[in-house]
Amino acid sequence: MSRIGKKPVAVPSGVTATIDGQSVSAKGPKGVLSVILNDEVIVEMTDDGIQINPRDKSKDARSKWGLSRTLVSNIVTGVNDGYTRKLEIQGVGYRAQVQGSKLQLALGFSHDVNYPIPEGIKIECPKPTEIVVSGIDKQRVGQVAAEIRRYRPPEPYKGKGVRYEGEYIFRKEGKKK
């Protein structure tokens, strides 16, 4: 039994969820999201919220049960609260700023890196060394944060680069004479 899959997805007030076959859509104050679930699970609306159950006792159905519940939970949370991912920049002269629909990053290269901000994602720079990526789709927010981090991941000797907030960087000792 999936411990995650057993729990119903609570639908908060202000959010309306509709089920159409294997498609679940949620509409809330931040926007509209929908997800199409695998045929191995059954989705139904109950008094507690959205309940997801495996179609049968097969291993395939049980393995997709918890995933399906989490996907539905993510869209309900996204349209109600949204998701945020914070990045920190460390290094001398490393900075970021938003210019129109682009994020301009100075990361120690001979040129600035211009990252086009995708639709549905909001990027802010409260400080030159801090980037806040926010949106309603958890997958897209995480993907954008990972793409920005990929330009200059933190290196183990001095810790310079773009890192997630609170990320631990394993430090190495330099060469000894």
Residue 2 predicted with pLDDT over 80: no
**Residue 165's pLDDT is what?**
94
Start-end of CATH 3.90.930.12 domains in the chain:
3-80, 83-164
Q: Which CATH superfamily hosts domain 3-80? A: Ribosomal protein L6 (3.90.930.12)
Residue 24 predicted with pLDDT over 90: yes
Q: Taking the CB of residue 159, how many other CB atoms lie within 10 A of it?
A: 13
Q: Could you report the per-residue pLDDT of 52-108, keeping only the tens digit for each? A: 999 999 999 999 999 999 999 999 999 999 999 999 999 999 999 999 999 999 999
**Residue 30's pLDDT is what?**
92
Q: Could you report the per-residue pLDDT of 120-141, keeping only the tens digit for each? A: 999 999 999 999 999 999 999 9
Which tokens is 127 given? Answer: 């400080």
Cα 165 to Cα 65: distance, rounded to the nearest angstrom: 31
Answer for the pair 131, 125: CB distance below 8 angstroms, yes or no: yes
Question: Which ranges in 23-137 belong to alpha helices (H)?
Answer: 59-80
Residue in this structure with the two tokens 């680069």, named with its chain if needed: 161
Residue 116 predicted with pLDDT over 80: yes
pLDDT band at 146 (very low <50, low <70, confident <90, very high): very high
CATH class for the region spanning 83-164:
alpha beta
Cα 72 to Cα 79: distance, rounded to the nearest angstrom: 11
**Residue 80's pLDDT is what?**
93
pLDDT band at 176 (very low <50, low <70, confident <90, very high): confident
pLDDT band at 145 (very low <50, low <70, confident <90, very high): very high
Give CA torsion, residues 142, 144, 146, 152, to 10 deg: -150
Which tokens is 173 given? Answer: 């000792």
Q: Taking the CB of residue 44, how many other CB atoms lie within 10 A of it?
A: 10
**Residue 3's pLDDT is what?**
85
Q: Could you report the per-residue pLDDT of 155-166, keeping only the tens digit for each? A: 999 989 999 999
